[in-house]
Each structure stands twice: as C-alpha cells, then as structure tokens.
Amino acid sequence: MNDSMTTNDSKQKSLRDVIVIGSGPAGYTAALYLARAELKPLVFAGESWGGQLMLTTTVDDYPGFESGIQGPDLMEKMRKQAARFGAEIVDRTASKVDFSTKPFRVWVGGPSTALNVTSSGRAQDDKTDSESLSVLSSEKGEIYRAKTVVIATGAESKLLGVPGEKEFMGRGVSTCAVCDAPFYKGKEQTYVVGGGDAAMEEALALAKYANRVGVIHRRDTLKSSKIMQRRVEEKKNVEFLWNSEVMEIKGSKEQNKATGVVVNNNKTGETRELPMDGIFIAIGHTPASTVFKAQIELDEKGYIVSRLGLSAKSVALARDHLNDMGILEYPTMTSVEGVFAAGDVVDFRYRQAVTAAGWGCMAAMDVEKFLTGTMSSW
C-alpha cells in the first residue's frame, strides 16, 4: 500500500456501496430509492442544497399537490423522505473525483478542481501520484470511496447579471415559462430574453396565456431554428425587440415584484423603460459538470453523456451496450462503468422537476441491479 495512503488513513473513509453527488429532485429521489434498497447511500448535498427549486415560489406542475407547493418546501419534503429511510445526507460539496480506478474516490472540502487523467488511465494533478494523494487527503479535503457513484448535480440557468434580476427572481423574473406561464394568464405584457430555440419555446408557452409577449434579442437575427422562428412569428400576440439588451429590471418593494424592464437599443443608443408583468430569461443553461471533466465523457456543452440517449454521443454509447436480446443495459450509466448520472446535468431537453425525479429513480434502480448483478432479471 502507498505510504501516503497509510499515513493519511484517518482521512480515508470506509468503502460505501454508493455515493450520490447532488441534492435536487434527481439526487433526493435517487437517495430515496437507494435507501429503500438498503444500500445506505451517502449524499453530498452541497452547502446550498436543493437545486433550482430553492429559487422558485409556487410549483403547480409537480404531481400530488393539487394546490401547488413552494419550491423550497418540496425540496425539504424530498430531503426528509430520503433521510427517513436511511440516506445519510451531508451538506458538503464534492470538490474533486477520481473515476480512473476502483473503488471510486470523492473529495469533499478544498477547492473544486478537475483531476487530469494520464495516458495510462490514472488520475493526477500537478504532482506525482504519491505526492498528490498525500496533499489531497491532508490539505484538499477528506476522501470518500465508493463502489458506485450517482451524479445529480443539475444545471444552472444562465442569467443576465443586471440589477434587479436576482432581487425579483420568482417574483416576476423567471427562467422557465413552461413552469410559470399559467401564472400570467390574462396579464397584459410579458417579455422573453434570448434568441435561441429555448427562447422560442418560452415565447410559445407564454403566448398561450399572456395578452402580449415581447422577445428581446441583442441581434437582428435569431439563433433559433427556422421552424421555431416561424412558429413564433405566426403568433399574433408576439413581437420582437431587435438589437435590444436588458440593462435593468425594475420593481416595487412594496408589491415585492418586478414591474418594468430597462432596454437599450445597441444600434441607436436609445434607452427605454417598459412596463411589464413578468420577464423570462432564456439565454441557456450551464450544467454543473466541471468537477467531472476528464473523468467521464461530456458533450460539447458540458452535459454528461449517458447511455439514455439525448444526443449523438449518447446514442453511440448506447449502441455499444446492448445485450444479446437487443436491450440496453444500465441506461443511466455514463462512459465509466459504475458511474451513473441523472437529472439536468444529463437532460438538456426537458429540464423539469418531475423528469429529474424520474431520472433519479432510474439511476438508483440501475445502481441496485449493477451492485447485485441482477440486470438479467429485467
């Protein structure tokens, strides 16, 4: 055994069957199912646990709550339910992982960085393997080991970074029209910011409810597909604000909601304050996958590639793992055997709480079958 491993043995934690990294609907659902399977999952929920739902107000589209539920309340219920069945939930962030050898290693504490993988397949940072392990275990956090890992770190909506945006998030500012558009039924004026397919989808969802929808885009042409653009242009209650950039979101502290948006025309220099009932930011998402870079396969946007194909890379991975009956084995497994992924860190298409929970369920069931070697029973 490596001398540095022996020296720092107090920092090495006992081998776990499974570690879950993440604490949104996918992470907590995976933890629930794994706990009920008596696999005693260790969940690294992060210092700011709960995912994007912690930033939302009323959630009306999660099944089982006929009057809706506050986002933070939903996450609290999921957390307590997983804990009730024995999930060990720790509010610390996984700062580094090593999937190059088994058992897998997960660091908590210390700066978040991605280990590089050498041509031999071993992970290292800027020191030799023995030096690296010594430093990591003594200065860069504790090391936890596991036979399997479920990654459910989610994705964050990209924001504009303008005054008022975070202040009125969930109170007139939103990043999901599919989720929140019904709240704007009959409202006079709403806006969508963005020019890609995601923004067009938001505009279409909002146009079903709001009287008027303005699409604010910083250029004079859209990045979206032609078919999506045509669908939006056909909506009589949608207009485009070309060459326009949001400078500030205004609001009323007394009413505790956003009431206007300051827009600058980057061609004419004209700045206007437009009254509004709500604004939806649709400029993209950033998957929380940086720490896994060079450890598992990611797509060009940073989403984790799993066998449950949403992209060409995923489909190719799936083709390589069909059994003799033509059935895909362990759909939520990534490019590394024993590492699974669930929720918005994989799913760039649906991005709903209920679909993330479904991913978490599937990942947990895949882990159980993988650990027990009972895949053939399916």
Do 26 and 107 share a domain, yes or no?
yes
Name the domain boundary from 243, 260, 283.
Answer: 283
Question: DSSP string spanning 286-346?
Answer: EES-GGGTTTS-B-TTSPBP-SS-SSHHHHHHHHTTB-TTSPBS-TTB-SSTTEEE-GGGT
Cα-based angle 303, 309, 310 (whole degrees, multiple of 5): 55
pTM: 0.74
Q: What stretch of H or E contains 46?
A: none
**Cβ atoms of 353 and 60 closer than 8 Å:** no
- Predicted confidence at residue 202, as pLDDT, reads 92
Same domain for 363 and 302? yes
Residue of 14, 107, 20 lying closest to 364 (CA atoms): 20
Q: What is the pLDDT of residues 205-255, one digit of tens each?
A: 999 999 999 999 999 999 998 999 999 999 999 999 999 999 999 998 888
Q: How confident is the model at residue 290 (pLDDT cuts 50, 70, 90)?
A: very high
Select the more confidently predicted residue: 273 or 112.
273
Average the pLDDT over each of 213-222, 262-271, 318-327 and give the range with the smallest value.
Answer: 318-327
> Which residue is catalytic, options 98, 176, 277, 347?
176
In which domain, by residue range, is 226 found? 159-283
What angle, rounded to 10 degrees, do the helices at 71-84 and 25-36 form?
Answer: 20
Alpha carbons 131 and 109: distance in angstroms, whole number: 18
Is 9 assigned a catalytic role?
A: no
**373 with 45: CB under 8 angstroms?**
no
* Burial track 102-119 (b if 16+ CB lie within 10 A, e otherwise): ebbbbbbebeeebbebee
Asked if residue 296 and residue 147 are part of one domain, the reply reads yes
pLDDT at 3 over 60: no
Alpha carbon distance 260, 249 (integer Å) = 6
Q: For the domain that residue 231 is a member of, what is the CATH number? A: 3.50.50.60
* 224, two tokens: 């979206």
How many separate domains does the chain show? 2
| Active-site option among 61, 73, 126, 179 | 179
Measured CA to CA, the distance from residue 68 to residue 57 in angstroms comes to: 10
- Identify whether residues 276 and 292 lie together within a single domain: no
Residues 61 and 146 in one domain: yes
Catalytic residue among 61, 91, 125, 180: 180
Distance CA 112, CA 102 (A): 21
Both 149 and 294 in a single domain? Answer: yes
271 and 318 together in one domain? no
Has 361 been annotated as catalytic? Answer: no
**From the CB of residue 80, how many other CB atoms can be counted at a distance below 10 Å?**
11
Q: How far is CA 35 from the centre of its chain?
A: 22
In the residue annotation, 180 being an active-site residue is answered as yes
**pLDDT interval class at 321 (50, 70, 90):** confident
Q: Are residues 215 and 269 in the same domain?
A: yes
Give me the residue label for tokens 């895909």.
328
Q: Of 260, 283, 306, which residue is a domain's last?
A: 283
Do 335 and 360 have their domain in common? yes
